[in-house]
Every structure is written in C-alpha cells, then in structure tokens.
Amino acid sequence: MAILEVKGIYKKFGTTEVLKGIDFSMEEGEVLSIIGSSGSGKTTLLRSISFLETADKGTITLDGELVFDAANPLKRNSTKQREIQSKFGFVFQSFNLFPQYTALENVMLAPRLAAKEREDYKKNKKEIMAEIENDAKELLDRAGLSDKYHNYPCELSGGQQQRVAICRALALKPKIMLFDEPTSALDPEITNEVLKVIKSVADLGMTMIIVTHEMNFAKNISDRIIFMDKGIIAEEGTAQEVFENPKNPRTREFITSFSQTGGKE
C-alpha cells in the first residue's frame, strides 16, 4: 500500500495558479526528487503536503489515513492537526534554527514539548527527558556534530546549521521527510556534507521527498524523479528514464540546460 497519496492538488495565490492538479503516490522507503525550474510550483507542492500552505483543492492520504481534504480542512492548531503535522519532517532552505537555543536544545525542544502531553509524563519525567536527550545526541553524532552540542546556530557554518535542522526534523520520528532545496543557500564546497547526511537518512530506509537543484545528487539518490513545469507534473520516472531518455521536450530542455551550466541554476 502506498504510504503517501497526493490527489488533485490545486493552489492559487491571488489570481496566479501555482499548482494545477498534482497526483502522485509513494511507497514506504522510497526517495522521490522533485526537479523543475523556479516558479514551477515544486516548493509550493512540498509546502502544501506539510500544511505550510493550504491547498484549494485535493486530498492527501498518509498511511491509509486521510490527513488533508481541501473540502474539509482540519482546524489549524488543533491537536489532531499537530499530531499529523509531526508525521512529516520538514527541512527548510534557510534552516530556520531557533537562534537562542544551542544545537542540542534545537533538536530536543519539540520532542520535549510533545512529551509533556504524554500521560505518564509526570511519573517518568526524568527518564523521558534523559531518553530525549540521548536520542538527540545520537542524531547529532550521526550527522558528525558530536563536538557541536552546545554551540549556538550563529557559531555554526551553514552546512552545520542545516545538519542540525535535519536532526531537529528527525527527532520527532516522522514517517516522511520533506526537504525544500536543502542546499540552495550553501556554498558549493559545503553542499556535499549536507548531501551526505541526507543520503545516510535515505540509507536508513526513510521515505523522503527532496526538492532540489542538485541534479547529480537527485540522479544518485532517487528511486523516482518528478519533473514539474508550470504547476503540473510534466514527467515522472526513474532517474535513468528522466535524465537519459526524457519524453517531454520541456524536460529535455531543462536537463540539457543543467548539464551545460554544471548543475547550478
């Protein structure tokens, strides 16, 4: 059974139609990359899946449960909505770490707040908190940040900040990770350290959607690629199909322009 099913998503900003009917589904453990030129709607699609935007039409089903229906959207801030929200991990282009907290505190904040809603919180407070701290440290260790627990975001490089942000999203144990151009704000040299961490998350079997301009990375990591153009899915297939034998002329044009400029837009 598909873990994620996106059906008939439409989204308008004012009079501009950004998404004009998006349908796709994903299997558990699948890595899907969304590519396409700026303005094609790929970021809006990702934001609609994680409720940062409310789609005008369409439905989203996660693990067999209808989590979004544009005809009958859940109330923002409701317990149900937040519970669904935390099943999606989201990584922003601009990291959006909380500047007043250390790396470790950034990772622990949401799990600690969520733990307060547990029934056994008062009884086992100490154990729960220690467990959260252990998990957070383990995540940071795996991202190569074991010496940065107590550094503030302003003391970290962009690549390190983004790795903390990935740990922060993983700390809630999401079902699906969504990456919104995770390396677009980074220098080419440090892009790799972030891509390596994303790759290691994929290797653990995490289902993920990556919006990216890193064509080589998309090619290597993805089970499937979606090429978006003007608010629709113009082409969909395995990395090989999309990159080496594109059917749509727009895809061909896009891929060619990338191989000429070396992968950066």
Partner 1 sequence: MNMQIVKTLFEGFGENLILFIVTIIAAVPLGFVITFGSMSKWAPFKFVARIETNLRNNRFWAEVLDFLADFRPISFVTRVFVWIIRGTPLMLQLFVVLYVPGLLLGIPMRNRMTAALIAFIINYAAYFSEIYRGGIESIPKGQYEAGQVLGMTKTQVLFKVVLFQVVKRIVPPMGNEIITLVKDTSLARVIGVAEIIMSAERFTKQGLIGPLFSTGLYFLAFNGILTILLSKLEKKLDYYKG
Instruction: Rank residues 106 and 251 by Cβ distance to partner 1 and give the closer one.
Output: 106
Identify the H or E element spanning 196.
helix 188-203
C-alpha neighbours within 13 Å on the C-beta side of residue 143: 30
Chosen residue from 15, 16, 38, 100 binding partner 1 by CB under 8 A: 100
> Using the rule CB under 8 A, is 90 a contact of partner 1?
yes
> Using the rule CB under 8 A, is 59 a contact of partner 1?
no
Q: Build a one-symbol-per-residue string for 146-185: x at contacts with partner 1 by CB under 8 A, - elsewhere.
A: ------xxx-------------xx--x-------------
Question: Would you call 39 helix, strand, or coil by DSSP?
Answer: coil
Instruction: Rank residues 110 and 190 by Cβ distance to partner 1 and give the closer one.
Output: 110
Nearest distance from residue 231's CB to partner 1, in Å?
A: 22
Of 23, 72, 77, whose CA–CA distance to 49 is shortest? 23
> Using the rule CB under 8 A, is 88 a contact of partner 1?
yes
Binding to partner 1, residues 105-144 (CB under 8 A): 109-110, 113-114
What values do phi and psi take at 149, rounded to 5?
A: -50, -45
Of 248, 230, 198, whose CA–CA distance to 44 is shortest? 230
51 Cβ neighbours under 8 A, 6+ residues apart? 68, 76, 81, 84, 85, 88
Binding site for partner 1 (CB under 8 A): 50-52, 77, 82-83, 85-86, 88-90, 92, 94, 96-100, 109-110, 113-114, 152-154, 168-169, 172
